[in-house]
Structure 1
Amino acid sequence: MILTNNGSERLFKKSSLTVALSSILLAGFSFQGVAAEEGEVKKVERIEVTGSRIKRADIEGSSPVTSIGRLAIESSGVQSIGELLQTVAQADLSGLSQLTNNTNGNDGSQTISLRNLGDNRTLVLVDGRRFLALGGGQVDISQIPIAIVERVDILADGASAVYGSDAIAGVVNIITKDGFEGVSLDATIGANFEGDGEYKQAGISIGTIKGDTSLFLNISKSEDKEIGAGDRDISSTPVAYIPEERGSAFGLYGIFNTSDGFKSLDPEKEGAGVRTADDFESFGTKHRYNFAPTNYLKTPSERLNIFAKVNHEFSDTLNAFVDFTYNQRKSVTQIAAVPIVAGFSGPQWEIPYSKDNIYNPFGEDLASFGFRTLPIGPRTTIQDYDTYFITGGFEGEFEVADTSFFWDVSMSRGDSSRNEHGENFVNLQNLRNAVGPSFIEGGVAQCGTEGNAISGCVPLNLFNGETGFTEEMANYIGYELNNQVKTGTTNFSANISGEIFELPAGFVGFAAGYEKRTNSFVDNPDSVVAAGLSSSNFSEPTNGKQTAEESYFEFAVPLLSDLPGVQSLELSIAGRFSDFENSGFVGTDPITSKFDNESFKFGFTWRVYEDLMFRGNYSDTFRAPSVDNLFAGGGEGFPSTQDPCNTTQFPLQSANTQALCIADGVPDGGSIQPTGQLRSLNGGNPGLQPEEGNTTTFGVVFNPSWLEGFDMTVDMYKIELNDALSSISAAGMLNRCYVQGESEFCGFIERRGDGRVATIRTSQFNLDKLEVEGVDFNANYAFQTQDYGNFNFRLNGSYTGSYRSAGPDESINDAVNEVARIDSDILRWRGTFNTTWSFDDLVVTWGMRYTSEITESCSIPENFLEDGIATRELCNMRSAISEDNPSGLNRIGSVTYHDLSASYALPWQASVRVGMRNIFKKEPPVALNPFGNSFYSVHDIPGGTWFVNYKQDF
């Protein structure tokens, strides 16, 4: 569905066809020129469209491309590119929403994932060129202000041969404005119907053309206010409608593992006075802590964007250009205060509460204890991003034997710096001091022992609830952390395209080029975190670089034309050759690696007659592992894992496994494993190879001449991916090394001198297979009336038939058709339908957004409602009981959202637009398995939104 088509790169010359191309609103498969006046010779303009590097006079191609034009963008009332792409049926929304749905919140960035294959398998381009990527290879599209966007092309096809790595699921090409003259002021305000989540945006665009030089400048600033999880019923508790049972065990009344069992302070005993063991009672539901309300449901952020574009024509055949983007973003994430989990987590939390601490009423050392550090405050992380990206180059045209050839050479450089400042974390060394022995001297509580006091230390009282936790105590154990992340990229590209010779059916088009890219990623964690002394898990630094050199070719070969049943038949062929060099560190060890790839694409377009066309592609796809995949520093975790070489498991193992354990330093009979958790460090793997696969598409385009203004497309797709990256858990590493005898995995396991596991490094490997099948469909119908205005209807939909993955054991999971995997919120159906009515200066758009049902496993026992723990039944398919789902299932119904906007052109070169999204305030269905709230990110935050926009041109 092509709503507008102005070309994906700059045009060197102006012709009458420019007007025609920019006015195509439907599929764009029937090209209409503008007749030249008699005796006038017009040069046909050739443009490059998304999906091909060949500049051509027509816009037909074998690849399915959906375009969202400027009018559709403005009518939608969206505030960002991310919000716009949420309406694309092929997008799975996983990185687009600002919804906080993970442990550490959302930092305000937005990334695009197509086909549920992940944002690192979707390539994002700006004006047909690569943009600055994050360490994982994905692009933060929030850096592109929506005010500068002319249109967005979504290529739902594998495009590795045309564009290189990462284009497995498809390509999103953001086309910026060009040729703008004048001054335009733009301002928008909006908010949630509930009165929160306010949004403000203001910008100015300036464009001028002086002789052979054109300039476009846009400066915009926007501000998003937060929405608190506690401000919506569905997210005010960890699981909706269960007020306490699912709260954290680490609350304000403590949990202390005493010789008499787990004890907590009786809430009625909190207050002044000296605590005794009699003030404590067995831990129960009333001692739990509801951590949900403190979290942000929507992340607040502020953005400043500066975008500039300069073009200078030296002649009709030579043009120079410079594009510059600067983005500054400040965002804040907030989650509940740190839970002290001493003795319940990893080795750095092995901090006993001393019996000699002046506040300890139990008279015994407490190896395990917990408390919610609410007096310190919620964990707040302030992210400060600064990003710039600049591209400069030349483009031109030359003729050989009356044939035009187009060329361009460009260089890009981009850098991003992210400084993270975290407040209200806990310094574990200070915590150890504060719960250790203490004494009173001169009426002042001090840490340590008499004659050996710890300077500056304040003993900690966790035995009198929030009342006993003073500001002085909070100041001593609390601390602020600082992390810094830097990414950089340098790109060089040179391209040439043209028509090389003529066949009976037409000219053969070609394109070829060379690219060289270097991406770097550096992550420097806080020094206290890196030392393993922070309540935030230990993390190693990351330092890596990747350089890619690529060359490509592409041909468009017309085979037949003007025959019965074959108005035209064209074959397209493309190929790309890639070499990658990688260097970085894993831990403190420098590592280098190399790999290469060859990708090819074959496609066809067969126009049967003017109204009907078939198209198809078979393409190789690949994704090179990113710097983060290869060299990410290890992040600490403590999964529940049994070492097959421990004293319990060792006697149960085969003779071969026992021998492998002994060879690795384990004593005969096994090593001691004191707890059920083992320390793991999840990081990069420099031995990774590219993910490789293929994509097949077949589609039909129908433009019936008997129904003017109507067109439709239907495209079937199948994506097969081999050697997909898949993580192996700590248990998997141990099993593969010792039980299965795969020696290459033993190097990831570090043991102490006594044979105990010290650390297991977990990572990703090229193990899985993925297969995704489905159908995309688009339809447009536009007509004009003499008395009632003009109407335009658009339908964009996607159907996922299957989403299968297979691991090394060849077991297959289907995320669409098997309940065990449907919790991933992969939708079978997704679509949008928009109706636009224009009458004189008034334009009204009604939009509908549809998501199909989801089935999730039920994690709530049936007795919760009977016992009054839950206030309503949360699982609507209790009868669907299985071994994997002993409590049945929960079916989340389909949802349709309605959006409405209207704009009116005012006489003084201005326009006003008002709109509402989710005008009926449709509530999201209750889900049980998302973290931190009770609905999936495919659904809107509860409560619709309104906006008002004013635009003034000069």
Structure 2
Amino acid sequence: RLGRALDVVDVAGTPTCRSVVNGTDPNCVPYDVFIVGGLTQAALDYVQVPLVYTGETTQQVVTAAITGDTGWSMPTSSDTVKVAFGAEYRRDSLSSTPDVSFTSGDGAGQGGPTIGLAGSADVAELFGEIQIPLADNQPWAYSASIDAAYRRSEYDKFGTDTYKVGADWAPIEDVRFRTSYSRAVRAPNVIELFAAQGFNLFDIDFDPCDAVNRPVANGPVPASCIGGAAHQVTAGQSTSGNLDSPAGQYNQITGGNPNLNPEEADTFTLGVVFQPSFLPRFNLSIDYFDIQIDGAIQTIGAGNTLNLCYNSGDAAACSRISRNPANGALWVGSGFVQNLNNNIGGFETSGIDFNANYGIDLEDLGVMNAGSLQFSFVGTWLESLVTDSGTGTPDAVYDCTGFYGAFCGPTNPEWRHRARMTWLSPWDVDVSGTWRFYGEGEIGVLGPDGSLNNGGTRIDRYLDSINYFDLAATWQVMDNVTLRAGVNNVLDTDPPLSYGVGTTGNGNTYPQLYDARGRYFFFGITANF
């Protein structure tokens, strides 16, 4: 309909759809985007279609658990050992039904038909936990304890084990050390298993076989692009300039995979907590984390598939690429990259979390009857954020720390923090100011050796660091009535923009991270009866 509404001819001075003139669609109304007022209600009624998607999710859970105090303690501890154990059964079922416009793919920007799905998964589990106090008020420990947990899960096609061990030691009251190691398992959910396979869109900055729009920094078109195979183009198609999508979006086939296995994660943490007695109402925690996920339930990534095929000669990757035989494109017509759910190599991330809190009574500063101030700070230094597509090729492993784009999604800044100051007044009014900071990012263009570069001379190769300042207040009007109001992004700071955002963001930015709406006011009232 959109195509017919834009295909307009002059009939005695009146713009008329060609399909009305030739009789193929007598209901067509011209959709004139070139003049003010050209988008009439009749034109909108003709080209717009409501898309309705209904779904139902049901979860059934039966749990039996026993928790208790054993009454037994270590000779060096006054506290006793505590345990918990039990069993659980869960069943998750899901069904979704798109309307005819969804299933026919008639929604503008839909990318392809949206097909319904239905399925269920169930699991039976046994679990147990124990906490063992080792010491309290001993010469070598103000307090110390260890804890452990285990869970066995039986699914339809596989079984999994999860467990955890942790230790906590405070040599003195002011300082506490803590560490833990855990194995976590996530089984595939109903959508990952049973989602219907169909067309969707993916983002890349350029088609690797396009000789016209290819960045100079990326060198010539790979020789493997030219030929007669399904994943290849002709020399004429390569130099036509038509392989590159102006929107940076290309076709992929996505969907479920009933043969998925669980993903497993190993997590190690090591931290310290300071609560100095010489500085009341202050605490600081510093925690190092290292998390590795193996067999992650993800797609390999259509962009990764293109790199694997053309830069690494991976035959399996090439078999997942099917170009439009008429023009060689992956964004016009029938061209696509197959990108189904799979157990890929995995992910790994590490870094350090910082968390600090401090409170000051203003009377201690000589300001009488003025309440108190509360300060809090939460920050994260990101050491690594590694993706492994599991293909074993040089470009299979890459680190997205500090990068954004088609391979890394929203910006992953090396440093981010949130600092907050709150005035607790004696008049039931609290006022807070918050400073949010996100470090800079650079576009991540994947090279054949797995390194990410920032796109050479692209004007959006860097996204600047961002500072946001927020104000908020609450007033306890009565015991059961609270008023609240505030403004986020007080300075109306614009988000950084990039033309490489594609389908992982919106409005040429990443609203998952940045304030895309600008300055934002809010207010509300809560009344309990």
Partner of 1:580: 155
8 Å CA contact retained: 1:855, 1:891: yes
Q: Secondary structure at the match of 2:81?
A: strand
8 Å CA contact retained: 1:858, 1:928: no
Partner of 1:688: 260
CA offset at residue 567 of structure 1?
Answer: 2.2
State the distance in 2 between where 1:903 and 1:471 align.
46
Say if 2:80 is the partner of 1:507: yes
Counterpart amino acid of residue 510 in structure 2: Y
Kindly report which structure 2 residues correspond to 1:393-472, keeping only aligned pairs within 5 A, or say none. Answer: 434=19, 438-439=21-22, 446-447=23-24, 457-458=26-27
Partner of 1:943: 519
Aligned equivalent of 2:283, options 698, 711, 714: 711
Partner of 1:834: 420
Partner of 2:52: 482
C-alpha offsets along residues 184-240 of structure 1, whole Å, 9 cap, x if unaligned?
A: xxxxxxxxxxxxxxxxxxxxxxxxxxxxxxxxxxxxxxxxxxxxxxxxxxxxxxxxx
State the distance in 2 between where 1:858 and 1:600 align.
36
Partner of 2:345: 768
Cα distance 1:271–1:886, how it changes in 2: closer, same or farther (>3 A)?
farther
8 Å CA contact retained: 2:492, 2:518: yes
Counterpart amino acid of residue 27 in structure 2: V
State the distance in 2 between where 1:883 and 1:842 align.
51
Partner of 2:13: 273
CA offset at residue 251 of structure 1?
Answer: 10
CA offset at residue 920 of structure 1?
Answer: 3.2
C-alpha offsets along residues 160-190 of structure 1, whole Å, 9 cap, x if unaligned?
A: xxxxxxxxxxxxxxxxxxxxxxxxxxxxxxx
C-alpha offsets along residues 793-819 of structure 1, whole Å, 9 cap, x if unaligned?
A: 222222222212222225332222457
8 Å CA contact retained: 1:710, 1:782: yes
CA offset at residue 617 of structure 1?
Answer: 0.4
State the distance in 2 between where 1:598 and 1:609 align.
36
Q: Secondary structure at the match of 1:530?
A: helix
Kindly report which structure 2 residues correspond to 1:776-815, keeping only aligned pairs within 5 A, or say none. Answer: 776-784=353-361, 785=363, 787-788=368-369, 789-807=371-389, 808=391, 809=393, 811=395, 812-815=397-400
Q: Secondary structure at the match of 1:837?
A: strand
CA offset at residue 896 of structure 1?
Answer: 3.2
CA offset at residue 884 of structure 1?
Answer: 2.7
CA offset at residue 823 of structure 1?
Answer: 6.0
Cα distance 1:710–1:473, how it changes in 2: closer, same or farther (>3 A)?
closer
Q: Secondary structure at the match of 1:519?
A: strand
Counterpart amino acid of residue 352 in structure 2: V
Kindly report which structure 2 residues correspond to 1:833-872, keeping only aligned pairs within 5 A, or say none. Answer: 833-857=419-443
Counterpart amino acid of residue 350 in structure 2: E
State the distance in 2 between where 1:609 and 1:751 align.
70
State the distance in 2 between where 1:923 and 1:832 align.
16
Counterpart amino acid of residue 624 in structure 1: A
Kindly report which structure 2 residues correspond to 1:219-368, keeping only aligned pairs within 5 A, or say none. Answer: 254=6, 273=13, 360=18
Q: Say which structure, 1 or 2, has more relative contact order (CA 8 Å, 6+ apart).
A: 1
Partner of 1:606: 169
State the distance in 1 between where 2:475 and 2:419 align.
19
State the distance in 2 between where 1:608 and 1:474 align.
72
State the distance in 2 between where 1:359 and 1:702 align.
74
CA offset at residue 615 of structure 1?
Answer: 0.7
State the distance in 2 between where 1:623 and 1:893 align.
34
Q: Secondary structure at the match of 2:102?
A: helix
Aligned equivalent of 1:617, options 180, 197, 203: 180
Aligned equivalent of 1:816, options 377, 383, 401: 401
State the distance in 1 between where 2:278 and 2:382 align.
32
- State the superposition RMSD in angstroms: 4.5
State the distance in 2 between where 1:525 and 1:496 align.
44
State the distance in 2 between where 1:615 and 1:728 align.
36
State the distance in 1 between where 2:374 and 2:121 align.
47
Cα distance 1:818–1:272, how it changes in 2: closer, same or farther (>3 A)?
same
State the distance in 2 between where 1:781 and 1:554 align.
34
Say if 2:523 is the partner of 1:926: no
C-alpha offsets along residues 433-467 of structure 1, whole Å, 9 cap, x if unaligned?
A: x47xx55xxxxxx43xxxxxxxx843565799679
Q: Secondary structure at the match of 2:80?
A: strand
Cα distance 1:625–1:499, how it changes in 2: closer, same or farther (>3 A)?
same
State the distance in 1 between where 2:520 and 2:226 align.
61
Partner of 1:886: 457
State the distance in 2 between where 1:251 and 1:921 align.
43
CA offset at residue 684 of structure 1?
Answer: 0.7
8 Å CA contact retained: 2:175, 2:275: yes
8 Å CA contact retained: 1:457, 1:476: no
Cα distance 1:732–1:897, how it changes in 2: closer, same or farther (>3 A)?
closer
Cα distance 1:635–1:700, how it changes in 2: closer, same or farther (>3 A)?
same
State the distance in 2 between where 1:886 and 1:733 align.
25
TM-score, normalised via structure 2 length: 0.73
Aligned-pair identity in percent equals: 22
Partner of 2:486: 916
Any unmatched runs of 5+ in structure 1?
1-249, 257-263, 276-357, 361-433, 440-445, 448-455, 582-593, 643-647, 860-880
Partner of 2:292: 720
8 Å CA contact retained: 1:733, 1:746: no
8 Å CA contact retained: 2:300, 2:344: no
State the distance in 1 between where 2:383 and 2:181 align.
19
TM-score, normalised via structure 1 length: 0.42
CA offset at residue 602 of structure 1?
Answer: 0.9
Cα distance 1:885–1:641, how it changes in 2: closer, same or farther (>3 A)?
closer
Cα distance 1:899–1:759, how it changes in 2: closer, same or farther (>3 A)?
closer
State the distance in 1 between where 2:47 and 2:484 align.
51
8 Å CA contact retained: 1:846, 1:901: yes
Cα distance 1:916–1:499, how it changes in 2: closer, same or farther (>3 A)?
same
CA offset at residue 475 of structure 1?
Answer: 5.4
Counterpart amino acid of residue 381 in structure 2: Y
8 Å CA contact retained: 2:410, 2:510: no
State the distance in 2 between where 1:508 and 1:533 align.
63
State the distance in 2 between where 1:251 and 1:459 align.
10
C-alpha offsets along residues 585-621 of structure 1, whole Å, 9 cap, x if unaligned?
A: xxxxxxxxx1221111110000112221111101112
State the distance in 2 between where 1:939 and 1:577 align.
41
Counterpart amino acid of residue 802 in structure 1: S
The farther-off stretch of 538-547 and 850-859 is 850-859
C-alpha offsets along residues 820-847 of structure 1, whole Å, 9 cap, x if unaligned?
A: 7666222333333333333433333322
State the distance in 2 between where 1:693 and 1:810 align.
23
Cα distance 1:464–1:846, how it changes in 2: closer, same or farther (>3 A)?
closer
8 Å CA contact retained: 1:271, 1:464: no
8 Å CA contact retained: 1:892, 1:925: no
Q: Secondary structure at the match of 1:927?
A: coil
Any unmatched runs of 5+ in structure 2?
210-222, 326-332, 446-451
Cα distance 1:910–1:682, how it changes in 2: closer, same or farther (>3 A)?
closer
Partner of 1:539: 114
Counterpart amino acid of residue 541 in structure 1: G
Cα distance 1:558–1:815, how it changes in 2: closer, same or farther (>3 A)?
same
Q: Secondary structure at the match of 2:339?
A: strand
State the distance in 2 between where 1:725 and 1:837 align.
45
